[in-house]
A and B are shown apart, each in its own frame.
Chain A
Amino acid sequence: MSLNSIRTLGHKGLSFFQRLGRGSILLVNIVLGIPALLPRVRLLIQQTYSVGVLSLLIIFVSGLFVGMVLGLQGYNTLVKFGAEESLGVVVALSLVRELGPVVSGLLFAGRAGSALTAEIGLMKATEQLSAMEMMAIDPVRRVLAPRFLAGLISMPLLAAIFSAVGVLGGYFVGVGLLGVDEGAYWSQIQANVDYHDDILNGVIKSIVFGTVITWIAVFEGYDAIPTSEGVSRATTRTVVHSSLAVLGLDFILTALMFGES
């Protein structure tokens, strides 16, 4: 009995490393396919539309509300210490350092990642990828590479939009509704948010998240069992795995970036 459970453990471990290996090989192939994309900007634009532009609405609305809630909650806490001038810093730092990249990463995984996996998985299930191979067109370069690159480009832009809209949302609530001084809101932000330490690190985070999410999404779709059940499972796995990856990586990156000093 115990021997069997050890065997199951070993089997799971082996298949995990096999998937990791397949995923890495796929990633290398995708990256090798990216230079061939450059003369074909149209493919990239098409995919940036479905990956980035279609995620814009949810990112915009969520950013606005997250910023507004931060403004409200931050005010309630800060006003007890008579420090409501620092509201801007609270809102801006939490958005730029953490919530911008992480929340937009999670939303991106749910909105764009799942769509990518489902699309690629269905293309596989309906033999469209096979058909491309038989037409001597490499689906990794024609289908996966533009989607990957589009995700890579879209994610930092979406995270930046999320943070900027959130700061404005905090401004509406804090300055517009709760009467925090407008000048204090902005000047406190400018005095305490550092371009290099905060903004650039946030952008780096979002680029890393974008890479990992689209990699997982594209790989899950390409590796899906080509049945309706297989595709639906792969889609679920994309959302779960990429969300977990975002949260785990966020901890590691935060420790690396903000741990010292």
Chain B
Amino acid sequence: MADDSDILVKVRDLHFERGDRMIFDGVDLDIPRGKITAIMGPSGTGKTTMLRLIGGQLRPSSGTVHVEGQHIAGLGHGALYQIRKRMGMLFQNGALLTDMNVFENVAFPLREHTELSNDMIRDLVLMKLHAVGLRGARELMPSELSGGMARRVALARAIALDPMIMMYDEPFTGQDPISMGVLVKLIRELNDALGLTSIIVSHDIAETCSIADYIYLLSNGKVVGHGTAEELGNSSSEWAQQFLNGYSDGPVPFHYQAKDYLADLMDGADQRAQSNGSSGVAS
């Protein structure tokens, strides 16, 4: 693996549970600086939870998350908010503030965190909006935007404070092919132009593989495979093959855990017979 100083986010032996359900059961991840790293896996494997653990919105049950050498779960309120200023996160549905228009949404983190003059803020916002191609939409309200546009505005807002890490939560879900292509291009370009470190959480294989430098596959709370897109494609892991090729049955079974089909059907028949029998006796 790469040199330690090149690792921006380091996750070690991470355990996390929600209620009685184990979400992570000993996960190790290394997110290299300046690269696009993808975390993939089927729905419900806690990919979004991973981003929240990195962002410090959740605390692990055990194990550690280090961002730039800082132990996230151990930070106080102030220090955590300091490091969050250097993280950008793109939420699944954009999470734009619905009571402000596009311009004010992008200006929001600048107004909250800086003392810049209105002119400066205007210039910065227009630059960010131009980068995502929505400079002309600045007067629209979030309710007037399509899903893809909302995500691009959210992207402009996320990079408003020039973060060092960008986290993308399912950026491609529910997009038409054109806006999907736009987002893929934007993520790659922004990463290279701004010198970001990007983490993508997704289950859209083709798009993610086309831009990710390194991929982790998660399943059942564990890392089941990692490597570049090419390495994973050639891997002999049954699981990786099923996921990447979308086979309906394999290590991840088609059926939700249930008892034997025939026995289940017979059970129902037995019960009916029994209840009939008992009522017969009673009468």
Contacts and interface: CB of A to CB of B under 8 A. Distances in A.
Direct contact of A and B (CB under 8 A): yes
Given A126-B93, A127-B95, A128-B97, A142 B112 contact: yes
Contacts of A123: 97-98
B247 interface: no
A194 interface: no
Nearest to A137: B112
Interface string A120-151: 00110011101101111110001000000000
B88 to A, nearest CB: 8
Contact of A127 (B91, B112, B157): B91
Contacts of B158: 135
Interface in A32-86: none
Contacts of A127: 91-93, 95
Given A135-B109, A135-B112, A137-B112, A130 B91 contact: yes
Contacts, number: 52
- Interface residue range, chain A: 10 to 19
B95 A131 contact: yes
Interface string B144-156: 0000000000100
Interface of B is mostly: mixed
B82 interface: yes
Nearest to B86: A136
Contact of B87 (A122, A130, A134, A138): A134
A135 B84 contact: yes
Contacts of A130: 52, 57, 91, 95
Contact of A136 (B91, B96, B97, B113): B113
A128 B85 CA distance: 16
Interface in B69-90: 81-82, 84-85, 87-89
B108 interface: yes
Contacts of A137: 108-109, 112-113
A131 B112 contact: no
B55 interface: yes
B98 A126 contact: yes
Most buried by B among A126, A127, A131: A131
Interface in A208-258: none
A142 B84 CA distance: 16
A135 B109 CA distance: 7
A22 to B, nearest CB: 16
Contacts of B161: 135
Interface of B: 52, 55, 57, 81-82, 84-85, 87-89, 91-93, 95-98, 108-109, 112-113, 154, 157-158, 161
Name the 10 nearest CB pairs between A and B, nearest first: A131-B95, A136-B84, A127-B95, A134-B89, A136-B85, A136-B81, A135-B109, A127-B91, A137-B112, A128-B95
